[in-house]
Homo-oligomer: A and B are copies of this chain.
Amino acid sequence: MRFFSDNAAPVHPAVLDAMATADELDTAYDGDRWSRRLDERFAELFGTEVRVLWVPSGTAANCLALAALCPPHGAIVCHKDAHIQNDECGAPEFFTHGAKLLLAEGEGAKLTPETIGAVLSAARYDVHQQRPRAISITNATEYGRVYTADEVAAIGALAKERGLGFHMDGARFANAVVATGAAPAALTWQAGVDALSFGFVKNGGMNAEALVFFDTALADDTLYRRKKAGHLLSKGRYLAAQLLAMLERDIWLDCARASNAGAALLAAAAGPRLIHPAEANEVFLRVSPDEAAALRAKGFDFYDWGPGEARLVVSWNQRADAIRPLADAIAAL
């Protein structure tokens, strides 16, 4: 059983079905009837007007959002372990044309107004430094932690007070919604978020993510940026159909419930081995090299995450009966 990454999982059958259904001639790019439904459909979900662009990767969603919020001579505050800092090969710098990421601290890759404020206070506000223009947080975080609506709102208040844009990398937004029980609106625009990278691929999608602008004025230029970056795919209906399918009958929530539950099962078995509370679908464990080898010998695959640490990620399609053997193996270490 593989617990490497939710990126490696297969695609939800409803997504494949929707793509097959979309397999008829329509207008190219994003003029088709699926793409044209996105704004309305996501507006329903969030209970407010939004502008939504599909893109084929989370990196594209994140970096288009950052480029909309921060000029080349600006800076973006994020966690030092953020995906945009560590896992996108400088895509933020590419899309923003050179904005700087200012790195904040925080347990479990979570930021707080205090840790963000420390970075903002350390900045000099003269032309010799890139001026902070945006904050980016990840929910659920890279370490499987979640921000509650209140926690997001506290950061949103800081962003508003300082005149900063506010981006949420929601590669695992569904997991955060499930974990917190909060409404999508409460976790985002009601908490001051201007742009959300709403992830579907890690949660059962294939190659469509939604870039959701709550500050709808940001969408206009982003349409050009998306094209300029090669992300305006010519048969966009196959992306739009994926997003619509995931939202139907709350599939996106079901998938996240399953993966969160799987992680909870593993976490319960791990007990004191847990490095971070397993609030979403990721579990970080302390395991010795020998223990890791023992787990692998039983057929469980996962990433080492620094010395003596392992990362286990549960995917949408790994249900309890598939998880339990690993939970038992961990408990038996």
Contacts and interface: CB of A to CB of B under 8 A. Distances in A.
Contact of A235 (B11, B90, B224): B11
A180 interface: no
Interface in A1-50: 2, 4-5, 7-11, 16, 19-20, 23-29
Given A73-B224, A97-B72, A229-B91, A238 B128 contact: no
A36 to B, nearest CB: 14
Nearest to A13: B23
Contacts of A94: 72, 97-98, 228-229
A7 B23 contact: no
Given A16-B20, A98-B228, 8 more contacts: A7-B28, A57-B233, A73-B227, A86-B129, A89-B224, A90-B228, A206-B235, A229-B229
A232 B57 contact: yes
Contact of A234 (B58, B100, B228): B58
Given A23-B16, A224-B73, A230 B91 contact: yes
Contacts of A60: 230-231
A129 B72 CA distance: 20
